[in-house]
Chain A
């Protein structure tokens, strides 16, 4: 089965080709079936591969398809690496991907761009699979840029809308800033290790004799790669594209901007774990950027009123937590959180889509409320997702978040404290979102109320499956304090992280201590939920309208700390201004003026010389004689 891994990306690629080329001639049903079927088939193959990987002993070999780029001693082949990490990501991408495809067949039914949508979605899955399957950094980069392109296409899916187009462009360009870092990181890897294939790089870096621990070059590599991760996974300061990316259709937000693409940065660091382990400085940077992003985005999430924007900031925040995990060496915990987050965040986005669908494209939660009786399945599944993300046991989010926070505590208590603070805010804004949407009285128009309906089966079925995963997903990683050696995920991933684990001797806190940390986290979440309940259910508070006066702090946060405005003023505008000035002054009035000046000078000198051409033969003879004399004199001496 492992040998057949090329089928996994090939199937969605074929889906893309068929739908893309013949989509106009096919019915919507056929398109939906082909596109979803391709991803489902890829999922089936992935399951087979996964099962084989669980039984696999010894080293994981890469599977080479063909030579891609080779020049001198540089080679990059199109080849795939199947190991626990990539096989796990295969399952998430194709599994969650399939559910979202299925959901989209109903969600996008009325859209004119139906076939285009599925073509892009299939193409996205193809690139995402390349990203995690490549056995070297350049193939990862191919997938990396490819998913960026699909993200661009899907954010700007409704291309008549200028705001959406701007959001798409912003996402692409901001990602490109990160990509440059990634690219330079790859080049530094090549220059340092003479290769970009994982095996050779990690074997060399991980060899105890290499003495690379704390090496400045390794730190530079790690930081350059991390710049790439900051772009793709929307971390400070490159995060502002992700909230704007909500312009895309909601299934896109679920698949690309929550479950898969934005976690590519975590995959990249987890994949390169040995490089990061060798550089404590880089790990520290990752942890700090992660926790700061987590906190920062969470504060913004509290004040957002657009159902998708709340989820978007929540995604930024959760991604920050994953980076915190990576930064404190909880590689398994971070990957674990990627998985559980894929379940509950995809669920929440799809649930939000179901609400938006029912509300006729209304996204403002101030105009919702009381939806639980109209949308029972959406309501129940959304509630389960909300509990999971808030970290209440025994839902999945509890386990993965706890693992990250426990490691953060070992690293430094303050990081843990900030993590707890973030979790509390998360629980608060998520329940705020839940209560405002599903509880209380309906605040929309009569027309909207009249049309409220539960979504069709193709949409609710994915919700139910994802809800089950969001509830039970935590069982793949039961912490040591509950049961000995029950952390299946850790055992499964151990071949990937083993070189790092050897170097990071962590001191586990005693059982009582760990239970106490867990207890604080759970209590904090419960308190936040209680607060949200009091405010939005009991007191029936509804967030203020945009034109109402609010305190200045609230205003700053509501306007997302004016970060977009600052970027506009500090980066975008100056570049345009400088470019305009360069064009006007340097180009037209200086460089080109010099060129023309030389031309004119020659012309004028010729004009002077022309005066000598008088037609007077006597003058010519005189000039000739003078010249001969001059020549004779110079020759003589």
Chain B
């Protein structure tokens, strides 16, 4: 029931928000997301105390004739991602408090609907339902980017359209894969006593996937992999991402990079690995190769970016590449690292994009070279930026380190050379991050930055908790890791890898 409530709450709140035509809608949205957070924490405690809690699952027939169920449930993996979503949304809402927007009620409504779809994606245990939520999530973000986005070089509409089409094409591949698997569910049971109807239930799909031949599994692998690879995105399916991140409104970018890209990495864990184990074994090498190439490639590109937001966008591709390589290493360290890093990256990337937004709104530029000296005026801002940046370059005792270390650990067990190349992110990340920190924050002030206004209390309310979370999770990641471990072991077991 809790899981259903977690989907219904943002849905209802989102619809209600449409009717609040005043500025109050901000506060309403904040209240709704905080309520959602409280509910999520409750769910977290419930799962911690009772791993097989009935409260967290809900299963009802939806379209009986096709074996489609409204089946939502939370294990440790879902919990971590739902928690991330619930945790980030209040900050994303708050980050927009200073802005006067046209159609504010629609804006906040879309954000809440987005949250609904995301929770749905992370909890759906039915292939069809998963697909529905997956596509639903695309609609609000499409409108957010389209209506409130802006771009200097190209039209925001064209960029958003490309993003929409590109990811939609990926999703369609997944739909093909899903239907293909569905066709292989059901039939006579093992004892040939009973006819089992076809079903989209996740366990039925797992079973169907495992029964396929290698060639068939490879086909399904690619159908799903393309969808996830485009969503994350990993090299070379990433070219929609930098433009979209740059042109989207900050809150849209936060939703995209902080949470939505985790749909892809989550998809790997929940769907791809256990669905077609033999297909994964066959193609993991290529997937890891692409991911590792992506890490180095995107890091190099980040080094030469002049626009701060675009730099973060490329750094995000590098981080996601590491997550995906770790997950494809198919061992518990890689999977744990992947999950923790999804969480940590969500926090740090939202923080970084907010920082970019604060800088842009005060100086009217995101060009790294035309900034500088902000630390002279607002040292507190510089410090908060520094800590988030350190998490992004995986300094120990920040959340970024735990994930990155486990990921490289996992990749190392797969192959030492792959880990060495993936590990270059340790060096390259420091290169582009410190370079941008130096030219934005340090040195003398200039024309663009000399009138830099102090942080408002709203801005501090967003940044300070993010920083505290970063450190808390870096020092004591145990609660998250503990809750995730059984679920991840379970995935490995279904994928036939666990010892």
Q: Please, which residues of chain A bring their CB within 8 A of the CB of B333?
A: 71-72, 74
* Interface size classification for chain B: 35 or more
Known: A145-B395, A591-B239, A592-B239. A578 touches B442 (CB 8 A): no
Contact with A72, one of B331, B412, B424, B441 (Cβ below 8 angstroms): B331
- B390 & A579 in contact (Cβ 8 Å cutoff): no
B366-385 interface bits toward A, Cβ cutoff 8 Å, 1 = contact, 0 = none? 00000001011000000000
Contact with B426, one of A73, A183, A191 (Cβ below 8 angstroms): A183
A142 to B441 alpha-carbon distance, docked (Å): 26
Which of B304, B402, B475, B489 has the most chain A CB within a 10 Å cutoff?
B304
The interface stretch among B68-76, B209-217, B246-254, B429-437 is B429-437
- B406 & A575 in contact (Cβ 8 Å cutoff): no
The interface stretch among A155-163, A295-303, A521-529 is A155-163
- A165 & B442 in contact (Cβ 8 Å cutoff): yes
- A69 & B405 in contact (Cβ 8 Å cutoff): yes
A586 to B301 alpha-carbon distance, docked (Å): 10
Which of B395, B406, B424, B430 has the most chain A CB within a 10 Å cutoff?
B430
Tell me whether A599 is interfacial, beta carbon within 8 Å: yes
- A578 & B300 in contact (Cβ 8 Å cutoff): yes
Chain B residues 21 to 70 lying within 8 A of chain A, measured CB to CB, are none
- B443 & A188 in contact (Cβ 8 Å cutoff): no
Tell me whether A172 is interfacial, beta carbon within 8 Å: yes
- A71 & B166 in contact (Cβ 8 Å cutoff): no
A73 to B498 alpha-carbon distance, docked (Å): 12
Q: Please, which residues of chain B bring their CB within 8 A of the CB of A592?
A: 239
> In whole Å, how far is A61's beta carbon from the nearest beta carbon of chain B?
23
A159 to B395 alpha-carbon distance, docked (Å): 21
Q: Please, which residues of chain A bring their CB within 8 A of the CB of B442?
A: 156, 159-160, 162, 165
Chain A residues 40 to 73 lying within 8 A of chain B, measured CB to CB, are 66-73
- B426 & A176 in contact (Cβ 8 Å cutoff): yes
Q: Which residue of A lies closest to B425 (CB)?
A: A180
Q: Which residue of A lies closest to B432 (CB)?
A: A579
A405 to B447 alpha-carbon distance, docked (Å): 59
A596 to B444 alpha-carbon distance, docked (Å): 42
- A169 & B443 in contact (Cβ 8 Å cutoff): no
> In whole Å, how far is A207's beta carbon from the nearest beta carbon of chain B?
24
- B424 & A180 in contact (Cβ 8 Å cutoff): yes
- B300 & A71 in contact (Cβ 8 Å cutoff): no
- A69 & B426 in contact (Cβ 8 Å cutoff): no
Q: Please, which residues of chain A bring their CB within 8 A of the CB of B300?
A: 575, 578-579, 582-583
Known: A190-B409, A595-B166. A576 touches B304 (CB 8 A): yes
Tell me whether B465 is interfacial, beta carbon within 8 Å: no
A599 to B430 alpha-carbon distance, docked (Å): 36
Contact with B396, one of A73, A141, A580 (Cβ below 8 angstroms): A141
Tell me whether B120 is interfacial, beta carbon within 8 Å: no
- A71 & B304 in contact (Cβ 8 Å cutoff): no
Interface size on A, residues (CB 8 A): 49
Chain A residues 154 to 205 lying within 8 A of chain B, measured CB to CB, are 156, 159-160, 162, 165-166, 169, 172-173, 176-177, 179-180, 183-184, 187-188, 190-191
A190 to B408 alpha-carbon distance, docked (Å): 12
Contact with B405, one of A156, A183, A575 (Cβ below 8 angstroms): A183
Contact with B427, one of A141, A162, A180, A583 (Cβ below 8 angstroms): A180
- A188 & B416 in contact (Cβ 8 Å cutoff): yes
Q: Which residue of A lies closest to B376 (CB)?
A: A160
> In whole Å, how far is A104's beta carbon from the nearest beta carbon of chain B?
20
The 9 A-B pairs at the shortest CB distance, nearest first, are namely A72-B332, A71-B336, A579-B300, A592-B239, A142-B396, A187-B412, A159-B442, A579-B304, A579-B303
On A, residues with C-beta under 8 Å from B are: 66-74, 138, 141-142, 145-146, 149, 152, 156, 159-160, 162, 165-166, 169, 172-173, 176-177, 179-180, 183-184, 187-188, 190-191, 575-576, 578-580, 582-583, 586-587, 591-592, 595-596, 599
**A/B interface sample: 15 pairs, CB < 8 A:** A66-B478, A69-B402, A71-B406, A146-B395, A159-B443, A160-B442, A169-B438, A173-B434, A184-B412, A184-B420, A184-B423, A575-B300, A583-B304, A583-B305, A595-B239
On B, residues with C-beta under 8 Å from A are: 162, 165-166, 236, 239-240, 297, 300-301, 303-305, 331-333, 336-337, 373, 375-376, 390, 395-397, 401-402, 405-406, 408-409, 412-413, 416, 419-420, 423-424, 426-427, 430-431, 434-435, 438, 441-444, 475-478, 481, 485, 489
